[in-house]
């Protein structure tokens, strides 16, 4: 049992995730209060990896539900294994020699062994666990309402089988890139945290922890340049993932210094739109690197 945000922060650090005080406090409270944690933020600010790190730090399984347009109940909660039910029915028919008791057959067809548990049902059955509901803004309103109900109850009813209730509520982390606003009703159930890009020392530390062979000087140069890129109005400002990619690309080319030539050769690791690249090159790579 974790007793403070500081203790959770240390546990997260021990598995390679470096939270700031705000993240550690929000995650600690979500765990302590049994409330879902709703994380919003720019791409690459560590929303998804927070859930992964929490599961490792708390030594519980991670169950992930990736949301997408059109996601529905049978992809999120459960489905019946129709081909196996059919095989089973055939076997029953063969064994009965034509005198199949249809009530009994139906009962055995709709038993737990033919139920395919999807992430939400698995989370209820397997909790304690971390349930990551990733990119919930991609799902539609109807799905959100359904999610809200399930999160409120920590239980679902499978009509043929009855209620499945979590003995311990899962620690739920919802993430959103804010491509649309998620309803207030869902947010009201959750603790909210906005993840910003890490400050310079933390980003340097993330780079060095993730890439132990990266020289400190190069890590600082990459993190500083990425910070400056984030101040430009780019279509896709680089996240931590891009800093890591940039550092790796430089290392792969044997560079120990981020100068204009090295930057020009590796910009594709950090900028993902032609317009962004043109803009940065036009503004001058020397200036970007000089600060
Ligand atoms: N605080 C952190 N400590 C360690 N690594 C981090 C941290 N923040 C981000 N990262 C690293 O940055 C990368 C991107 O993080 P992640 O995928 O979690 O971002 P995200 O916010 O989910 O992005 P997206 O919105 O694009 O899904 C990962 O490799 C992750 O390990
Ligand atoms: Mg993510």
Which residues lie closer than 8 Å to 278 by C-beta, 6 or more apart?
Answer: none
Tell me the mean pLDDT in the region 88-100: 89
pLDDT in tens, 233-248: 899 999 999 999 999 9
Distance (Å, whole) CA 285 – CA 291: 10
CB 234 within 8 A of CB 218: no
CB distance 238 to ligand 1 below 6 Å:
no
More confident residue, 218 or 97: 218
CB distance 246 to ligand 1 below 6 Å:
no
CB 26 within 8 A of CB 196: no
CB 234 within 8 A of CB 271: yes
Tell me the mean pLDDT in the region 81-95: 94
Distance (Å, whole) CA 196 – CA 20: 10
- Return the ligand number nearest the Cα of 19: 1
Picking from 92-101, 133-142, 247-256, which range would have the lowest pLDDT averaged per residue?
92-101
Distance (Å, whole) CA 120 – CA 188: 20
> Distance from CA of residue 119 to its chain's centroid?
13
Distance (Å, whole) CA 259 – CA 98: 81
More confident residue, 173 or 291: 173
**Parallel/antiparallel/unpaired status of strands 155-158 and 130-134:** unpaired
- Return the ligand number nearest the Cα of 18: 1
CB distance 193 to ligand 1 below 6 Å:
no
- Residue 98's pLDDT is what? 79
- Return the ligand number nearest the Cα of 203: 1
CB distance 54 to ligand 1 below 6 Å:
no
Torsion over CA of 274, 278, 280 and 281, rounded to 10 degrees? 130
- Residue 104's pLDDT is what? 87
| Surrounding residues of ion ligand 2, Cβ less than 5 A | 48
Distance (Å, whole) CA 29 – CA 33: 6
37 — phi, psi (to 5°)?
Answer: -105, 120
Which residues lie closer than 8 Å to 218 by C-beta, 6 or more apart?
Answer: 247, 250, 251, 255, 256, 257, 258
Tell me the mean pLDDT in the region 167-179: 94
Tell me the mean pLDDT in the region 138-150: 91
CB distance 240 to ligand 1 below 6 Å:
yes
> Distance from CA of residue 186 to its chain's centroid?
18
Most ligand 1 atoms within 8 A of CB, residue of 67, 68, 173, 241 to mutate: 241
Place of tokens 């311990």: 168
Q: Could you say which DSSP state residue 160 is in? A: T
Q: Which two tokens stand for residue 153?
A: 């109850």
- Residue 139's pLDDT is what? 95
Ligand 1 center from residue 5 Cα (angstroms): 20
Ligand 1 atom nearest 177 alpha carbon: 25
Distance (Å, whole) CA 280 – CA 232: 8
CB distance 78 to ligand 1 below 6 Å:
no
- Of the pLDDT bands very low, low, confident and very high (cuts 50, 70, 90), residue 291 is low
């Amino acid at each position: 049992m974790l007793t403070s945000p500081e203790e959770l922060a240390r546990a997260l650090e021990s598995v390679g995730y470096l939270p700031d005080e705000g993240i550690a406090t929000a995650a600690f409270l979500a765990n302590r209060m049994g409330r879902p944690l709703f994380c919003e933020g720019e791409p690459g600010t560590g929303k998804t990896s927070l859930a992964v790190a929490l599961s490792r730090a708390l030594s519980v399984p991670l169950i992930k539900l990736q949301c997408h347009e059109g996601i529905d109940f049978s992809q999120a909660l459960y489905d019946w294994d129709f081909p196996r039910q059919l095989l089973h029915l055939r076997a029953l028919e063969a064994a009965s020699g034509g005198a199949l008791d249809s009530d009994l057959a139906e009962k055995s067809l709709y038993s737990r062994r033919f139920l395919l548990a999807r992430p939400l049902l698995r989370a209820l059955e397997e909790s304690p666990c971390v349930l990551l509901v990733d990119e919930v803004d991609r799902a539609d309103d109807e799905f959100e309402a359904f999610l809200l109900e399930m999160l409120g109850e920590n239980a679902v009813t499978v009509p043929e089988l009855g209620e499945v209730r979590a003995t311990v509520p899962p620690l739920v982390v919802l993430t959103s890139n804010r491509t649309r606003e998620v309803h207030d009703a869902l947010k009201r159930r959750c603790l909210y945290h906005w993840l910003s890009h890490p400050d310079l020392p933390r980003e340097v530390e993330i780079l060095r922890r993730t890439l132990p062979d990266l020289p400190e000087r190069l890590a600082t140069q990459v993190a500083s340049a990425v910070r400056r890129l984030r101040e430009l109005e780019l279509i896709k400002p680089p996240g931590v993932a891009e800093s890591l990619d940039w550092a790796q690309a430089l290392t792969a080319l044997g560079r120990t210094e981020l100068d204009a030539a090295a930057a020009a050769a590796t910009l594709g690791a950090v900028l993902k739109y032609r317009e962004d690249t043109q803009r940065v090159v036009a503004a001058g790579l020397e200036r970007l690197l000089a600060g």
